[in-house]
Amino acid sequence: MHLFWTDAGKLYKREPGSLVRTEVSLPAGTVQRSPFTRMSHVVIPGQRVVIFVGQFYQNLIWRGDTGQLLTMGIAAPTTAPTLAASGTGVTGVVTGRYTFAHVDADGVVVAESNMSPASNTLSLVNQGRLWTGFETTHTNARVNRIRLYISVDGDEYLHVPEEDIILGTASTDENVATNELDQETPGSMRRGVPPGFKYITYYANRAWGATGDDDSFRFSELDELESWPAVNELKTRDGRRVTSLKALSDQVVIGTRSSIQDVQGYSADDFNVRILTQDIGIISNGGAIVINDKLWFPSQDGYYRYGGGGFQFLMPNLRTYFREAYEADPQTYQDLVVAIDRRRHILKVLVPGEDSITRHPFYYVAHYLPCETEFGGVGGLPYWAFDERDNFDRTIGTLSEDGELLDRLYTGSCDGLVRLEDVAGNQDDDEDGAVDFEVRIVTKHFLPTGQGGDDAHTPVFGDLDVHVKSEDKAFTVSTYTGDDSATDAAEARWVKAEPASAATKQGRPLVAKTSHNFKTQNGAGKGGAVKITCTSPTVFEYRGIDWEFEPIGGNQTRDKT
């Protein structure tokens, strides 16, 4: 099932392949945070269970097998039951407690609270037990059963089988023999409702959550996603507030604004926090993601990755660009969203758009193959590019349709729609029929004879071969000549529009042209750059340029004698 949250606080579901979405009812009492906080979610492997935290003050859990969205965790009763003798059957000194539970149609206990306070002590001689004083309502709408636990002669509390009662029932009687009690006990009282988290992950068969309000983070009981005893809490070593929580292979990585720490170990006794770095932080939980067993995350000057052995900076070519953008709008950059397109081996980092202030989204696009030796790369840096879009995209994520071997990338926008990304042959971003995106390539600024000399002693640029295949759309070639900052000029020195290269002639299809020759004019300067743009092409390929120049300027070098 595909699930979509909106900032209106609504959840929608969609069957893979279906064009129809339907709204999912939220649990009663769910309240959205104000101001808006981005959802963090974790999908529990193999269970079709998703935990959602952040957007609401309550933590929510989706159970795909039943299609239910539930409030996570069940608060325990605060009122003790009362026991009295009734009927026949049991001998011993007993006390009773009860729990609230969510039991499914098959009788399986989905979630259960800690036990209530203990009842009065009752001595029985071949007598049954009359239970009264149950709380008859619960704030969590999923609670549908009360489960009884009895302690006989001071032994641990054991479940009274076949006696679970419907919530709302104020009393019941039973006489289950002591030797027929279930050996099931919640006597450790290790359940409990967690605080409202903003970050969630899953590691070592436990869910891990953090409120993001302080230096603490919590973990659930083993294989019990909804049991969060207060003692299952750890803190960052340096007291910094948690800004990110991500599972990575055999550790949980905890980010703060300016440090990164981890937890290793498989049992609660083994868990310990250690500092990995105090120089690098994680500024956005939604901007962090694991690729090939390495955590890619945004710090204040760009993306790093951590694979357990050390940190590698991935944006030396965009360090200042990223940092200045972050400093200009820290709130937006702390709300980054990232997703992987495994088919194209790219990572897309969304700087979210916002329609209410007409801020269009912006994407950093990392081609990660070059840096992943496991994927055939050479251990270098990723190649970065940018995507621009007219839609107001607010999120990006992956979905898999039935039968697909790999998931695909989708964006969610402020028009309430979800769209598949990078659809080959589709030149329209939002299927509104309007012209949408422009492919834009600007080469380096070539300085063929160096930067020396004055303006009267510069190269003159001449024939330009542009190796472009643009089958269906015309494209434009511009040149900017002069000093290094020539491309900052409002107007190009030379511009030429070239028609689409897959034209037909007299009804005969032509092979698409891939090289185009131009006579550039007025192209003198110490150097030059070429800009190529093409609007909404379906097939556009760039293979480079050949650009001729005269090393010493033309007229300026004529022999006047």
Partner 1 sequence: MAKQQPELGRKSPIRLRLGVDIDTFRGVNKENDPGAIHDTEFQDLVNARVLANGKVVGRGGQERIITDPMDGCVVDIVDDDPPYEPSASRLYYDVPGNLSHSRSVWGADSLDVHNFIGEVDMLEEYSRRFASYGGQLLVSRASTRAMESVNLETGETTVEFQELDDFIRAFAYFDFGDPEEGDKLIVAISDDATDKVKQWGGGGSVTEIGSGINGPDLLMPRLCTSENVHDDLFYANTDRLKRYNAGAWTNIALPGGLTKWQTRDLVDGGSLNRVFLCGYDDLATDVGKILSYDGATATVARTIANCTVVSAGAMLGSIFHYAWTHSGTGQVNIGRYDGSTWNDTYKNLTGDFAGIAGPVYRLYVFNSNLHAGLGGSGTHKLLRSHSGSVSGTWRSVHTDAGVVAGDMIAHTA
Considering only residues 452 through 471, tell me which ones interact with partner 1, judged by CB under 8 A. Answer: 459-460, 462, 467
Question: What tokens appear for 542 in the block?
Answer: 């760039």
User: Beta strand pairing status for 199-203 and 171-174?
Assistant: unpaired
User: Which of 274, 343, 519, 543 touches partner 1 (CB under 8 A)?
Assistant: 543
Give me the 278-317 binding string for partner 1, x by CB under 8 A, dash otherwise: --------------------------------------xx
Contact between residue 93 and residue 130 where contact means Cβ atoms under 8 Å apart: no
By three-state DSSP, how is residue 331 classified?
Answer: helix
Report the site for partner 1 in 207-236 (rule: CB under 8 A): none
Closest CB 235 distance from partner 1, rounded Å: 28
The greatest distance separating any two alpha carbons of the chain, rounded to the nearest whole angstrom, comes to 132
Determine the interface stretch with partner 1 among 205-213, 269-277, 365-373, 503-511 (rule: CB under 8 A). 365-373
Q: Tokens for 176?
A: 């289950």
Is 448 one of the binding residues for partner 1 (CB under 8 A)? yes
Q: Which of 21, 235, 241, 257 is in the footprint of partner 1 by CB under 8 A?
A: 21
- Give me the phi and psi of 327, to 5 degrees please: -65, -30
- Secondary structure of 133-184 in the HEC alphabet? CCCCCCCCCCCCEEEEEEEECCCCCEECCCCCEECCCCEEEECCCHHHCCCC
Question: Does the footprint of partner 1 cover residue 542 (CB under 8 A)?
Answer: yes
Q: How far is the CB of 314 from partner 1 (least distance, A)?
A: 11
The single residue among 257, 359, 367, 496 that binds partner 1, judged by CB under 8 A, is: 367
Least distance to partner 1, CB of residue 545, Å: 5
CB of 420 to partner 1, least distance (A): 5
Structure tokens at 65: 């097998």
Using CB under 8 A as the binding criterion, the count of chain residues that bind partner 1 stands at 140
- For the chain, the straight-line distance linking the first and the last C-alpha, in angstroms and rounded, comes to 84
Tokens at residue 463, please?
Answer: 């024939």
The nearest distance, CB 102 to partner 1, in angstroms, is 19
Cβ contacts of residue 334 below 8 Å, gap of 6+? 243, 283, 284
Smallest gap from residue 470 Cβ to partner 1 (A) = 8
CA angle 418, 419, 422 (to 5 degrees): 155
Strand partners, 498: 475
The nearest distance, CB 189 to partner 1, in angstroms, is 31
Is residue 8 left, alpha or beta, with left meaning phi > 0 and alpha meaning psi from -120 to 50? Answer: alpha
Q: Judged by CB, which is closer to partner 1: 311, or 437?
A: 437
- The contacts of residue 510 (CB under 8 Å, 6+ apart) are 502, 503, 504
Among 20, 125, 328, 490, which residue interacts with partner 1 (rule: CB under 8 A)?
A: 20
> Contacting partner 1 (CB under 8 A), which of 156, 180, 455, 548?
548
For partner 1, the binding residue among 46, 107, 309, 452 (CB under 8 A) is: 46
Q: How far is the CB of 112 from partner 1 (least distance, A)?
A: 23
Q: What's the distance, CA 253 to chain centroid?
A: 15
Among 135, 221, 262, 387, the residue binding partner 1 under the rule CB under 8 A is: 387
Choose the stretch contacting partner 1; rule: CB under 8 A; options: 124-132, 189-197, 379-387, 504-512: 379-387
Quick one: 153 or 491, whose CB is closer to partner 1?
491
User: Which one of the spans 107-115, 176-184, 291-299, 534-542 is the region binding partner 1 (CB under 8 A)?
Assistant: 534-542
Amino acid at 190: R
**Which of 135, 421 has the CB closer to partner 1?**
421
Task: Provide the minimum distance between the beta carbon of 338 and partner 1 in the complex, in angstroms, as a whole number.
Answer: 12
Which stretch, 18-26, 85-93, 135-143, 217-225, contacts partner 1 (CB under 8 A)? 18-26
Residues 105-134 that bind partner 1 (CB under 8 A): none
Determine which residue in the list 24, 49, 110, 502 makes contact with partner 1, applying CB under 8 A.
49
Residue 394 CA: distances (Å) to CA of 320, 329, 337, 471, 474: 25, 16, 8, 32, 31
By CB under 8 A, tell whether 500 contacts partner 1.
Answer: no
The answer to whether the CB of 346 falls within 8 A of the CB of 385 is: no
Contacts of 548 (CB under 8 A, 6+ apart): 461, 462, 463, 464
CA 150 to each of CA 80, 129, 145, 155: distance values in angstroms, whole numbers, following the listed order: 13, 10, 17, 9
Least CB distance from residue 536 to partner 1, whole Å? 7
DSSP calls for 464-531:
EEEEEEESSS-EEEEEEEESGGGGGSSS-SEEEEE--S--EETTEE-PPP--EEEE--S-BSSEEEEE
The helix (H) or strand (E) run that includes residue 194 is none
Rounded least distance, CB 284 to partner 1, Å: 14
DSSP string, 312-329: EE--TTTHHHHHHHHHH-
Range 388-447, binding partner 1 (CB under 8 A): 388, 391-392, 394-407, 410-431, 436-447
In the complex, minimum distance from the CB of residue 465 to partner 1, in angstroms, rounded to a whole number:
8
* Separation of alpha carbons 526 and 170, rounded Å: 90
Candidates 32-40, 143-151, 155-163, 221-229; binding stretch for partner 1 (CB under 8 A): 32-40
Considering only 188, 320, 373, 521, the residue that binds partner 1 (CB under 8 A) is 320
From the CB of 78, what's the least distance to partner 1, in Å? 34
* The one among 80, 130, 268, 318 contacting partner 1 by CB under 8 A: 318
Q: Which residues contact 432 (CB under 8 A, 6 or more apart)?
A: none
The interface region with partner 1, picked from 39-47, 78-86, 199-207, 238-246 by CB under 8 A, is 39-47
- What is the DSSP-derived secondary structure letter of residue 334? T
Q: How far is the CB of 334 from partner 1 (least distance, A)?
A: 15
Between 123 and 426, CB nearer to partner 1: 426
| Footprint on residues 64-93 left by partner 1 (CB under 8 A) | 64
Q: How far apart are CA 308 and CA 477, in angstroms?
A: 46
Sign, Cα dihedral of 370, 371, 377, 380: positive
- Binding partner 1 (rule: CB under 8 A), the pick from 17, 309, 433, 452 is 17
